[in-house]
Amino acid sequence: MALIESMEKSGNWLFRWRSFLPLVLYVLAVPVALWFQDGASPDFQATGWWAACLGVSFFGLLIRAITIGYTPRGTSGRNTSEGQVAESLNTRGIYGMVRHPLYLGNYFMWIGIVLFVGNQWFTFVVTLLFWVYYERIMFAEEAFLRRKFGEVYLKWSESTPAFLPKFSGWVSPGVRFSLKNVLKREYNGFFAVFVSFALIDALHVYRMEGTAGLSDHWTILTAGAAGVFLILRTLKKRTRVLDVEGREYVA
């Protein structure tokens, strides 16, 4: 198999299994948080440190929210578990700044959690693994878009970076921002961020104190996030309050 077909095939396979990437990060984070800390490790209880890490993850959520809030139905922003789906090429809004804004958001979401683990080498390794992993997914997506949209896609890709945003590239999305669509689609990711921070905090507490438990602030924050999760999940599953005409899921 030629390398180009091999990369596309592996990218499509990785895309289908992308939901399991956090589990891999958790497995890697446990030994690092428990046994690979030294005198240079940050004060994990310091408000400035954990708030900064949480802020990085929230920045990733913000990028995803902007992407999803402005994405109309049937565009190239929609991917399914079976593969790529697009009726039209999305080149407006944040897609005028960067071709893969959702993956950029994913990086910041997860790197904030990785920073909280407290090992700079682990942060570097995860960044490298993230790039290798998502590079293949992006390759597969772009191969699909190039076949489907041809010259239109090539023209867009020539002026729009793949991963590092060109801030002057923002173009009016042509639709209003939909907070309902964001709440409907992103409550899982929002809750996953808090659960992940809580798990890392529990590892730090065990390493430093030898007991199982959470710091008080993470107990409160995670409980609050769980409440938000349950409310939004109930609204999504049992009502149509969060439904928005002309909008859809963005993976």
CATH assignment of 3-33+43-175, given 3.40.50.40, 3.40.605.10, 1.10.3720.10, 1.20.120.1630?
A: 1.20.120.1630
Of 20 and 202, more confident = 202
pTM for this structure? 0.87
- Which of these ranges, 17-26, 113-122, 242-251, has the smallest mean pLDDT? 242-251
**Per-residue pLDDT, 84:** 53
Check whether 183 has a pLDDT greater than 90: yes
Kindly list the domain boundaries of the chain, sorted by start residue. 3-33+43-175
Report d(CA 92, CA 104) in Å as an integer.
Answer: 17
Residue 231's φ and ψ, nearest 5 degrees, are: -65, -50
